[in-house]
Structure 1
Amino acid sequence: MSPVRRCSRTACRQPAVFTLTYVYADSTAVLGPLAAYVEPHCYDLCAMHADRLTAPRGWEVVRLPVETAGGGPGSDDLEALADAVREAARPPARSTPPDEVGEGAETLRRGHLRVVRSDPGRGDQQRPGGPAGRPYTGPSEPR
């Protein structure tokens, strides 16, 4: 196997010098310097195919400058930029306490399960309980 990475386009045998990745949430294609590692959802492109790159209608293409001199930064700048774009696309965190009954603050998540605690600012108001006002402890174990 050759240590030189090739262009991802079919039948192109030129060496790759750019990496293309997509941020679907923002309808953005990011074209930057060759990534340090091969990523499964990124495309390595040669100079010719990078110059001819077009994005679908309504999408934006972000072209990062490529340093031609060696000794550039050691980290993968393209991946960092894609992460920054994803972070900016996330909705802002809710800053006001929830007003609805039964809503609380999520404290832990494991897979599809999550632990939710009631809002500490509410005190004993609307505290969920079991029969006779006792705290609900979950289903009882079979005897």
Structure 2
Amino acid sequence: MRRSRYWRYPAAVRSPRRCTRNGCPRQAVATLTYVYNESTAVVGPLAAFAEPHTYDLCEPHARSLTAPRGWDVVRHEGEFEPPPPTTDDLVALAEAVREAARPVAPRPPEDGHDPATSTSSTGRRGHLRVIPPSH
């Protein structure tokens, strides 16, 4: 793929963590961890950082979680609340808005011919035709 010198990757925007259950688009509010040596599944408030061997869950999935037979489930008492936005999230959002508002530089045509600077007053430009003024 040939990239123009005008092309840029869009600014990265961190989105809130999502539920790790397949097909679930909801925002995560709880973290599931397993304590294997005690056969216990622990569902607690959303961890500050995503870590290996933990699973982020939305509220409906956190409330309805069941463990395998012989295992115990320890649940957080109270409400699961989404984490407040961090300053990093707010800065990323502001940068995304700035990036979207920035004008895009026009790309020159692949053949090197720029219709905007063409000296001919008539001719075909794309699917439009320029009709010379009648004298």
TM-score relative to the length of structure 1: 0.45
Report 1 or 2 for greater relative contact order, CA contacts < 8 Å, sequence distance ≥ 6.
2
TM-score relative to the length of structure 2: 0.48
Q: Which has the larger radius of gyration?
A: 2
